[in-house]
Structure 1
């Protein structure tokens, strides 16, 4: 998907190199779910 409003976890990590592996393991599930919820909300508003 090519959008400015949705980022995969891999794209997020590429933009934030300061996140180490231990932090990434804790953050990954939460951040990805937040991105998906936000994208679903934006799509709801557009629909």
Structure 2
């Protein structure tokens, strides 16, 4: 998806090289969940 407002975990991780592997394993499920919820909320507002 080509947008400035929604990023996959892989895109987020590529933009933040300071995150190490151990932190990434803990953060991944939470960050992707937050992105998905925000995207759903924005789509709800647009409908």
Say whether the fold is shared (TM-score over 0.5). yes
Post-superposition, which runs of at least 4 consecutive aligned residues in structure 1 deviate over 6 A? none
Question: TM-score, normalization: structure 2?
Answer: 0.96
Q: How many residues align?
A: 47
- What is the CA-CA distance between 1:4 and the residue it aligns to? 1.1
1: distance between equivalents of 2:24 and 2:39? 21
User: CA RMSD of the aligned region, Å?
Assistant: 0.5
Question: TM-score, normalization: structure 1?
Answer: 0.96
Unaligned runs of 5+ in 2: none
Q: Which has the higher contact order (CA 8 A, sep 6+)?
A: 1
Unaligned runs of 5+ in 1: none
